[in-house]
């Protein structure tokens, strides 16, 4: 059991570290690489939980995560970066140091919220939920502090990784719930990709600060 706990915590910690390091990156290529590593570790966490809980559904979740999130989505994101020539640094709404401090604060809040309210739960579930909530909050923070639409999509995908991490850490989670989350994320990504193309065609930029300036002038 100690090995189960230790490896699950290690994988969760790596996912949390990837989500946190995304706040320190200003180039999309680095953010995509960190997201891909996050998804790869998430798939490994699903496989390990499947072994620990003796659940075939979790193996299927790990396979879906590996194919869709660790392979297909990063490939699509890199294609968008190449097509739109978005190699330059992404503007941030807050200084990098402030974003990192806020990220640490959100991790602390997640731990303070989850651990006291789940005293009756299994230790592994409690700590996985704390890590998962931290990943979700960091993804939301990334969406707030980045002005580039594609960077915000990466934040959204990272948030969803946190939700999947919470799902695989909870025993007896129905596979249909995990599969529906992955399917909805893929559909949402396709819809957002269409919107990105339309925005680029009309405004020749994916920097949302420029769109806000156009909106203010229109008023």
d(Cα 144, Cα 86) in Å, to the nearest integer? Answer: 19
Which of 67, 68, 73, 49 has the alpha carbon at shortest distance from 59?
49
Q: Are 146 and 27 in contact (CB under 8 A)?
A: no
Mind listing the pLDDT tens digit of every residue in the chain (219 residues)? 577 778 888 999 999 999 999 998 888 889 999 999 999 999 999 898 888 878 888 888 888 889 888 998 899 888 888 877 776 667 777 888 888 999 999 999 988 888 776 555 555 567 788 898 899 999 989 988 887 778 888 888 888 888 888 888 776 655 545 555 556 666 666 666 555 555 555 555 555 555 455 445 555
Question: Which range marks the domain in which residue 166 is found?
Answer: 2-218
Number of domains making up the chain? 1
pTM for this entry? 0.80
Can you give the pLDDT at residue 138? 94
Can you give the pLDDT at residue 22? 93
Beta bridge partners of 92: 146
Can you give the pLDDT at residue 214? 46
d(Cα 93, Cα 147) in Å, to the nearest integer? Answer: 6
Report phi then psi at 71, rounded to 5: -120, -60
């Amino acid at each position: 059991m100690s090995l189960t706990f230790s490896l699950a915590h290690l994988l969760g910690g790596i996912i949390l570290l990837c989500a946190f390091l995304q706040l320190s990156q200003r180039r999309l290529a680095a953010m995509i690489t960190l997201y891909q590593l996050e998804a790869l570790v998430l798939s490994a966490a699903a496989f390990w939980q499947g072994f620990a809980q003796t659940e075939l559904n979790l193996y299927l979740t790990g396979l879906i995560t590996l194919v869709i999130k660790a392979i297909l989505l990063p490939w699509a994101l890199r294609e968008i970066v190449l097509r739109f020539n978005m190699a330059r640094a992404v503007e941030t709404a807050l200084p990098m140091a402030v974003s990192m401090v806020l990220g640490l604060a959100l991790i602390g809040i997640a731990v303070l919220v989850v651990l006291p309210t789940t005293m009756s739960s299994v230790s592994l579930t409690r700590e996985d939920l704390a890590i998962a909530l931290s990943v979700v909050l960091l993804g939301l923070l990334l969406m707030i502090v980045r002005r580039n639409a594609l960077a915000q999509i990466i934040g959204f995908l990272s948030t969803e990784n946190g939700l999947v991490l919470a799902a695989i850490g909870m025993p007896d989670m129905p596979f249909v719930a995990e599969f529906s989350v992955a399917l909805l994320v893929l559909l949402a990504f396709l819809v957002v990709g269409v919107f990105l193309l339309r925005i680029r065609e009309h405004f020749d930029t994916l920097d949302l600060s420029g769109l806000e300036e156009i909106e203010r002038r229109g008023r």
